[in-house]
Amino acid sequence: MEGYFIYVANKLDSIRFGPSSGGKLFDLREVKTLSFWRAVSAEFLATMMFVFLGSASAIFDNDKVKISLAFGLAIMAMIQMFGHVSGGHINPAVSIAMAVSMNISVLRAFLYVVAQTIGAIIGAFILKGVTPSAFHGNLAVTNINSALGVTQAQGFGVELLLTFTLVFVIYGTVDANRPNFGSASLAIGLTVAMGHFSAISYTGASMNPARSLGSAVASNSYANHWIYWVGPIAGGVLASVLYKWVFDPYRGVPTMAEGAQTLLQDDSFVAIPRDYFKEGKKENMNASSNL
């Protein structure tokens, strides 16, 4: 609205705080757009690179600090690179959570998950191709630390809580209604690193079904693999439901940009140029001086 002053505060409030239009479960029109397939391709490429970069840090040694930082920095870089294209999910648990909260359509979430899983598998096989064969049996495979007595139930709980935290951070940092403070990619990357620092000794701190699947397929190792699908997805969905319907202070409220766009499409308001008021003030001053 550059160059215009719109005196429509009451009407804008009614638009902004009116009932939500909701989200579409299936929007077949979006598959006909280039931007949709560009986004799907971005999820494929980002997940492939993330799995390669993160998993490579765990091949030759078990330095937990290095691994934690590698995965955190890798996801931060991928979100910075592709976030504006696809949203930078790079994680089936995130895409499914976004579909549950109706931020994206179920169709988009499904194709994102397909792209992410294929990308993760290819990324793991690329890592396998550049890694000496002596290490092919464990290409950063995630598994519960049964040697220390971690049970399947405990591993499930750890993955659920880690992914719950991650997805809640994602919702909080990308909320269009919050002030634009800080970097979303940095906050999310640090959360992934934090998850590794705190729980890598329990489960490997996956928080990402695609990441675990890629390593499992490339290494042909599927022990306790169900934990890395059920746990993260359950945690992501729980975070989605709680943020969207409990903690989101703007639930059902359009953003200011959406309200302004709705207003622009309404024929019942008038946009008045700022100069109108300046000219009116000058005329009043001239009239006063002539008295």
Tell me the three state secondary structure of residue 272: strand
Q: What pLDDT, on the 0 to 100 scale, is given for residue 258?
A: 65
Rounded distance, CA 288 to CA 120, Å?
75
pLDDT tens by residue, 96-149? 999 999 899 999 999 999 999 999 999 999 999 999 999 998 999 999 999 999
How many domains would you assign to the chain? 2
Tell me the three state secondary structure of residue 273: strand
Q: What pLDDT, on the 0 to 100 scale, is given for residue 40?
A: 97
Low-confidence ranges of the chain (pLDDT < 70): 1-25, 181, 249-261, 263-264, 266-291
The two three-digit tokens of residue 38, written as one number: 């560009």
Structural element, H or E, at residue 55: helix 34-56
- 245 DSSP 8-state letter: I
Of the candidates 196, 198, 167, 172, the residue with the CA atom closest to the CA atom of residue 184: 172
Tally of CA atoms within 13 A in the half-sphere of 211 that contains its CB: 32
Q: What pLDDT, on the 0 to 100 scale, is given for residue 270?
A: 59
Rounded distance, CA 39 to CA 22, Å?
22
Rounded distance, CA 8 to CA 17, Å?
14
pLDDT tens by residue, 82-95? 999 999 999 999 99
Q: What are phi and psi of 268, to 5 degrees?
A: -90, 0
Q: Are residues 150 and 270 in the same domain?
A: no
Q: Are residues 104 and 232 in the same domain?
A: yes
- Domain range holding 10? 1-18+254-291
Q: What pLDDT, on the 0 to 100 scale, is given for residue 2?
A: 43
Q: Are residues 142 and 247 in the same domain?
A: yes
Tally of CA atoms within 13 A in the half-sphere of 261 that contains its CB: 5
Q: Are residues 214 and 82 in the same domain?
A: yes
Q: Are residues 77 and 172 in the same domain?
A: yes
Structural element, H or E, at residue 4: strand 4-5
Rounded distance, CA 116 to CA 132, Å?
26
Domain CATH code at residue 33: 1.20.1080.10
Q: Are residues 202 and 267 in the same domain?
A: no
Q: What pLDDT, on the 0 to 100 scale, is given for residue 253?
A: 61
Q: Are residues 144 and 281 in the same domain?
A: no
